[in-house]
């Protein structure tokens, strides 16, 4: 079974961050982007479920709670395929550093937590390009919930309410995100995701990520001129 495990040959570099909402991954990626831009690098930023083609439909369907796990999975795959072919691959060919807030691993974690077959969803995404660096921010679901639900209740799909795990959104969130987290943890070995502790300080995580990125770039013969 193909599992997008081959190294790509594009001149650009693909970095992705993974983890459940509230793990701080987006903050880290934005810091990385702004820094790379400030030192004159060509950077492209792409987010999960943001394609022109389908993201609005998916958001609308989510609002109406009308998605089965498999349709949920396929719609996100459409979004990913659209961004991969229209944005990510061309940017990599043109030598950009592509920063992806969530990648195919998000689908593997969430869809499998929803009961979709793990081999099936991996096969669906087998057209994906293997990232040069994939960082996973590990966090206890309870700690993530305290962060994101400080002033709102968990959302329907975020809490896995479609799975009828519990009528209480907070309780459902914890059960569902615990499943998601377990799937992520499996992928640390399976896909070589680099695990970082989400509870570390913003600064220390950013230092680690920049160091890893520099190493990746060096291996491709790119030196960052960051002595500003």
Partner 1 sequence: MTQFKTKHGYEGLLIVIEGTDGSGKSTQLELLKKSIQAQSYGVMVSEWKTSRLIANVIDDAKERNLLNATTFSLLYAADFADRLENQIIPALKSGFIVLLDRYYYTALARDVVRGQDIEWVKNLYDYAPEPDLVFYLDMPVDVLMKRIIGTTGLDYYESGRDIGFSTDFYKSFEIYQNKCLEQYNVMKSEYNFKSIDGTKSVKEIHKIMNDEVQKVLDSGVLF
- Using CB under 8 A as the criterion, which residues of the chain lie in contact with partner 1 when the complex forms? 52-54, 57, 61, 66-68, 70-71, 74-75, 77-78, 81-82, 84-86, 120, 123-124, 126-127
* 61 or 212: CB nearest partner 1: 61
Q: Output the CA–CA distances (angstroms, integers) from residue 167 to 129, 140, 148, 175, 227, in the order listed.
A: 39, 21, 19, 12, 54
* 5 or 52: CB nearest partner 1: 52
Q: Least distance from C-beta 127 to partner 1, angstroms?
A: 6
Q: Output the CA–CA distances (angstroms, integers) from residue 197 to 16, 108, 183, in the order listed.
A: 16, 21, 16
Look up residue 119 and give its two tokens: 């081999």
* 120 or 170: CB nearest partner 1: 120
* 85 or 182: CB nearest partner 1: 85
d(CA 213, CA 219): 10
45: helix, coil or strand? Answer: strand
Q: Least distance from C-beta 173 to partner 1, angstroms?
A: 24
Q: Least distance from C-beta 119 to partner 1, angstroms?
A: 9
Tally of CB atoms within 10 A around 173:
27
Q: Least distance from C-beta 69 to partner 1, angstroms?
A: 9
């Amino acid at each position: 079974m193909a599992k997008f495990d081959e190294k790509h040959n594009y001149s650009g570099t693909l970095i992705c961050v993974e983890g459940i909402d509230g793990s701080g991954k987006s903050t880290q990626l934005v810091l990385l982007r702004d820094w790379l831009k400030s030192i004159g690098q060509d950077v492209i930023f792409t987010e999960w479920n943001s394609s022109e083609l389908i993201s609005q439909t998916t958001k609308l369907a989510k609002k109406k709670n009308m998605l089965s796990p498999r349709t949920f999975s396929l719609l996100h795959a459409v979004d990913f395929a659209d961004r991969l072919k229209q944005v990510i691959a061309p940017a990599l060919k043109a030598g950009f550093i592509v920063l992806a807030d969530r990648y195919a691993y998000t689908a593997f974690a969430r869809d499998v937590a929803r009961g979709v077959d793990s081999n099936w969803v991996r096969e669906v995404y087998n057209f994906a390009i293997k990232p040069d660096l994939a960082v996973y921010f590990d966090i206890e679901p309870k700690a993530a919930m305290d962060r994101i639900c400080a002033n709102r209740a968990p959302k329907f799909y975020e809490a896995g309410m479609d799975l009828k795990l519990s009528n209480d959104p907070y309780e459902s969130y914890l059960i569902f995100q615990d499943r998601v987290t377990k799937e992520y943890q499996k992928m640390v070995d399976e896909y070589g995701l680099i695990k970082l502790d989400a509870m570390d300080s913003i600064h220390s995580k950013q230092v680690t990520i920049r160091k890893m990125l520099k190493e990746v770039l060096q291996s491709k013969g790119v030196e960052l001129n960051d002595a500003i």
